Structure 1
Amino acid sequence: MQTSLAAALAGCSTTSFEPAPALAPIRARTDRIFDIAVCLRPFRPAGPRVETERLGDVLVVHNYGHGGSGWSLSWGSSTRAVQLAMQASPTEVAVIGCGALGLTSATLAQRAGARVTIYARDQLPETTSARATGEWTPDSRIALVNAAAPGFAAVWEEMARASFKRHRDYLGLPGTPVEWIDQYAVSGGTPRITQSTDAASSNAIEPALAFASYARSIRDLTPRWRSVPADATPFKGTSVARGEIMVFNIADYGHTLMNDFFIAGGQFRRADFRSPSQIAALGKRVVINCTGYGARALWKDETLVPVRGQIARLIPQPEVRYGLVYRHVLTVPRRDGLVVQSFAGGERQGYGDTNEAPDRAEAEQAVRTLAELFTTSA
């Protein structure tokens, strides 16, 4: 979640400074933007839909609606979905969708002994999942405080812990699909951390749109934020904190997941479903539906709300291995480009916005804000 720097440091070790490693400056220039991508996060006020539905003789297991936590919760949510699917003891399973939830559901169904075919219009690089920031943020826009399903907090914790454990299996692999990095919050920055404040703290102005936060229940999984000497960093700021966060290099992670799926005998079929009847016609007894925001039209799920998000990517700098939060701008040092995202409007930014057109002005303003942190951006 996004909190103030003061809140991030509350309860953290601040009695002594930790030394700061040598940090390469980021070349924050607008002419280094080489990609701008927009995604519509599939948000459900009650939380993700992980449940079964009968479509004639077909058992459909829904696994969608994860807001800004799709990658972070993918393994845990898909574990629950596959457990429901395998209760029917199928020898074959169809998975609809090839994003983060589709791929993890397909992989876990294979490991459970089923032959799996993914049906989707696009493979991962062309899906909404490929346009995420790539940070471990398991309760980012996951539910509303006043609308979360009964017992969802416990379900969320189960999914978060299961996902965290599975993500660890991809540490140290070729291509670095998953890794840990240091993340800095500078001066007026707003760190996205996993030991965040109470559920409604960041949304007090509009209680009806207060996003839930459950991060306190898993604060044992990640180190606490600590102060570091500002003059030992390249940042222009008087107050600096450092945390550590897990990040997903989505291009490498997706490539690894797709390869593992095909090596295990998985099949991919290009398909663009317009109605559930087309899915029933596949002839599969069990289907796992991982269509994300597409479920709003396909399954007539009017509870799904789009939350627009945009990322810009700067040309990669291999020497930059740290993330930054400064003046409502987040920077993630992915291997496929330095991701820069503005969240000046907080977590409600983009709520209900279906516009998927890239906004160059927004991207350039975020990069210019980032440039303020460095003596030189050359």
Structure 2
Amino acid sequence: MKRRDFFQGMGATLALASAAPQSLGVTVPQGEPTHRGVASRGSVSLAPIDARVDRITEIYTCLRPFRLTGPRIETQQLGNKLIVHNYGHGGSGWSLSWGSSRIALQLLQKKARNTRRLGVIGCGPIGLTSAILAQRAGLPVTLYAKEIPPQVASMGATGHWSPDSQFCVAAFASRWCRRWIEMADFSYKMYQDLLGLPGDPVQWYYGYKLSNSSFDVAAPRGEPEFAKFNNPNRRYQPIQVDLAPDEHPFSFPYVRRWQNLLFNINSYARLLLSDFLAAGGKIHIRHFESAEELLSLPEKTIINATGYGAKTLFNDPEIVAIRGQTARLVQQPEIKYAIRAQDFLFIPRRDGLVVQYIDRAGSYNNEDDSPDFQEASDAVEQLAAVMAGLRY
């Protein structure tokens, strides 16, 4: 993850930024969206988002570790070490971390039944959940990482539940259906147990998808066809609802309302880290340049959860970088709804309102992790335009 001090010398850019719409000064009810009968007709009141470029507090960029064939969850013998790989989840790392780590641990227990202690490489969501599940299975764990939260690259993720986002290409979907359901089920259950904790590490949120045309029309993105999965026996989200014009305050002819799980990544990552340390876990800050360096570690069994770093560390030619960038706006506690419209996604995280430009061409197979202020500005200005048309 790279973060740029982009405030220096950007006065001229801010002068061109969208000013806050006058409607932002209107007093509206606070708290959750107020719906008076979605099945019947009713009005909705939403607190307006103060969407201005000068309210950007930070820009995060990261490279999603995508593999065409899907994540690498398998064992490898390296000298006298048993390596259990657990990486390459594309845009599904946070969502599937618990389920994927459970499978990795099962492989470890099958291949190395006499394991007395474990090393884990990587301190993102996959590394932390792998370490915690191993501790709960009775193993002492040492975690090796060049960075720990909040410095790890995955802290720049949007933070919404997306278990099949850029998981693999469609041609390999059939290989993963049963295992994907296993991972999604276990992860979903773990997240239900985290609801309501202090700091809201996980919570439910409302969202609105807005469009000037039918939702069935999909624009090409210059990317491969990614696999889509579902569990025929259960839903991981409530059914989405198409709203009539008098059921929403937006100036779009097509509006769809959804609910989804949200990870407040700062508080959630701190919770994972504190749980690991409280259970006796140890952390060594260390950067490995080659896989051979792992031979010097005292642990005989190692889980590799290095994400995009595995491309170089284990010479994995299958990893393709998918560039991602999010911008944070100053928090507004009254904002508790998301928006997906035009080319942006807005998420109401507690640790800062998140705006992402998600349809910009060139993200696939792009290893440039430098923050792009213009990209962030474009997303915020689109959000401001949606707010300008908000009806009261």
TM-score band w.r.t. shorter chain: 0.7 to 0.9
- What's 1:338 paired with? 353
- What's 1:137 paired with? 162
- What's 2:369 paired with? 356
Match of 2:279 among 255, 260, 264: 264
Letter in 1 for 2:230: A
Letter in 2 for 1:299: F
Match of 2:291 among 265, 268, 276: 276
Deviations 1:79-126 (A, max 9, x none): 000111223131211000000100000000000100001000000211
Q: Percent identity?
A: 44
Change over 3 Å in CA distance of 1:349–1:69 after alignment to 2: farther
- What's 1:297 paired with? 312
Change over 3 Å in CA distance of 1:27–1:248 after alignment to 2: same
Structure 2 distance, partners of 1:300, 1:25, is 48
1:43 Cα shift? 0.2
- What's 1:39 paired with? 62
1:241 Cα shift? 1.4
Match of 1:187 among 207, 211, 221: 211
Letter in 2 for 1:344: D
- What's 2:24 paired with? none
Structure 1 distance, partners of 2:213, 2:270, is 33
Change over 3 Å in CA distance of 1:170–1:360 after alignment to 2: same
Alignment partner of 1:239 is 2:241: no
Is the 8 Å Cα contact of residues 124 and 154 (structure 2) preserved in structure 1? Answer: yes
Match of 2:302 among 283, 287, 300: 287
- What's 2:176 paired with? 152
Letter in 2 for 1:172: G
Letter in 2 for 1:324: I
- What's 2:51 paired with? 28
Structure 2 length-normalised TM: 0.84
Structure 2 distance, partners of 1:269, 1:109, is 17
Match of 1:317 among 326, 332, 344: 332
Is the 8 Å Cα contact of residues 135 and 141 (structure 2) preserved in structure 1? Answer: yes
Structure 1 length-normalised TM: 0.87
- What's 2:129 paired with? 104
Is the 8 Å Cα contact of residues 53 and 61 (structure 1) preserved in structure 2? Answer: yes
Comparing 216-225 and 289-298, the one that deviates more: 216-225
- What's 2:382 paired with? 369
SS at match of 1:373: helix
Alignment partner of 1:81 is 2:94: no
Is the 8 Å Cα contact of residues 190 and 326 (structure 1) preserved in structure 2? Answer: no
Is the 8 Å Cα contact of residues 234 and 375 (structure 1) preserved in structure 2? Answer: no
Match of 1:71 among 86, 94, 115: 94
Gapped regions of structure 2 (runs ≥ 5)? 1-37
Letter in 1 for 2:374: A
Is the 8 Å Cα contact of residues 121 and 272 (structure 1) preserved in structure 2? Answer: yes
1:151 Cα shift? 2.2
1:328 Cα shift? 2.2
- What's 1:120 paired with? 145
- What's 1:92 paired with? 117
